[in-house]
Structure formats: C-alpha cells, structure tokens
Amino acid sequence: MKQNLSVQIVFPSYELPKEYLTVIGQIDHTIITESTTPTLSSKNSIYVHSGLTNLPQFDFLKDLNVVIRCKFSEIIHGGHLIASVFPFVRRLNIVMTDIEVINGEDLDGYNNTLNSLSDVILKEYVRGHFVQTNLLTDRFMLDEMNNCNAGIETITLAPDGKFYICPAFYFDSGDYGLGDSCFNVGDLENGLHIPNIRLYDLEHAPLCRICDAYQCKRCVWLNRKTTYEVNTPSHEQCVITHIERNASRSLLKRIQEKTTLLPNKVIKEINYLDPFDIKPNY
C-alpha cells in the first residue's frame, strides 16, 4: 500500500473466517474467486469459472467480471456454450490454459469459433448490449498495447511469504532444464528483487514492440516456459493472438455496417500471423 499498489486477493474455494474478511476489508482490494465460492456480491470481484460445463446454468451477475478458464479444444468444440453466456454478462474473459500445446490443424477451428462468437456479439451490439470479451472486442477498443504487464505493473505475494512475477510462477515447479526451479523474486523480509527487470518492459521486447495485436496478454510466464526468455513470445502465442486480432477486425467492420458505433475506428489488414515473419534485422 505504501507503494501505491492496488491489491488483488485470490480467495480459496471455501469461506474464509470472519477475522480474515475484517482485515481484508480495511484496504482497497479486488477479490479473485472461483465461481462456486459462496456469494460475494462485491463489484470488485472477479469470478473464475473452470471449464465450459454448467455455463448456461451459472448465475452470472451482470456487473461483475467473469473469467472462464478452459482448454483450447474446449473453445473450439464448445463455442456455442460460450456464446450462450454473452447475452447475460457485461464482460467475459476467456483464458486458454494450454496454449503452448496447440497445433496448426486447430487454427482453422479457432477462426471458425471466433466467427460464430462474433455473430452473437454483433446481435448483442445491435440490440444495445455492448458486451466485452478479451478475444474479440478488446482489440477494436484499444489504440495501444494493453498487456498483462506482470512484473512491471503487478507483483504476486504468495502464501509462502515470497514475491513472484505472477501467480503462474508461484505454481510452476518446472525448471525447464535451467536449474532454477524457484521463481521467487524476493520476500517480505528482504523486499522485492527482480533480476533484469527491464526485460519485462514492452520497450525491451523486440517483437512485441513492433506488433499491433494490442489485446495480447503478452504472457511472460508463457514466454519463459516456451522460449526460456521472458521477453520473447512463442510462435503459438503470436498466431493465436493474431487470429483474434483479425477476427476483431472483421467484427468491427460488421458492427460499423449495422450500427453507428465506432465509425472512425480502423484496424488495418495485415498478411502475417507472427511478427517474427516481418521483424527488422537487428
């Protein structure tokens, strides 16, 4: 709090003792909690739903942010389930949990799913319900990069009393052959020490800084896992993100044709799915 950081607290799936809630309630905070957690009606809550089962029955609250975590294949085969949620929520973030294992074959399926979801979103926009989703609407609302920025804008304090760049690093026990199975970047006693902190910055990410997939999470944990470098993305991350970018471009054009919204917004046509293919020679 002394460093003017906002606090996000990941709640367990069970109810916390009242004493905990009293202490937590004394500071500005955001609660991140499973969708099955006993009711928390705070507007600052973010509800996380695992998988696509029970979605239509799930009692979404319109003013809250909802996150669905699921596998890539679930998105491809369960697009209709995701689509059924849009009419009822203000914002739906969809987080893929296995982006690093996708293969080229699935990409057409992903594109088709995004187009089906676009049909539903377009209907919602036409009826005046401006639902947001990270996969399709964020890109056409943005004019510059809006990434996760873990390590630069956020830091995680884990239950072991240590700091991590983000919760993914805390839960990650793999050492990827590099011998550093421990990803903590300090602790409460000794403070925060992030080695090479500038590498988390957009300016020091050579591919990302020439990219216009502004909605990309630019996940540094995924970068670390797939390329061993926090500032270098995998081909998969870039391709998936560019399929979303291009689907967003199509949806934007359809919204402009059917409504008076976003009349001056333009997303230019590009002919690549990975900025690595157009990178300058350094």
Binding site for ligand SF4 (CB under 6 A): 207-208, 211, 213, 216, 218, 233, 237-238, 241-242, 275
Q: Which is nearer to ligand SF4, 82 or 238 (CB)?
A: 238
Q: Which is nearer to ligand SF4, 91 or 242 (CB)?
A: 242
Q: Which two tokens stand for residue 260?
A: 């008076």
Q: How far is the CB of 214 from ligand SF4 (least distance, A)?
A: 8
Q: Which is nearer to ligand SF4, 162 or 242 (CB)?
A: 242
Q: Which is nearer to ligand SF4, 20 or 272 (CB)?
A: 272
Q: How far is the CB of 44 from ligand SF4 (least distance, A)?
A: 28
| Under 8 Å between Cβ of 187 and 155 | no
Q: Which is nearer to ligand SF4, 88 or 276 (CB)?
A: 276
- What whole-number distance in Å separates Cα of residue 188 and Cα of residue 209? 33
Q: How far is the CB of 234 from ligand SF4 (least distance, A)?
A: 8
Q: How far is the CB of 237 from ligand SF4 (least distance, A)?
A: 5
Q: How far is the CB of 151 from ligand SF4 (least distance, A)?
A: 15
- Between the CA of residue 52 and those of 110, 167, 191, what are the distances in Å? 16, 22, 40
| Under 8 Å between Cβ of 70 and 97 | yes
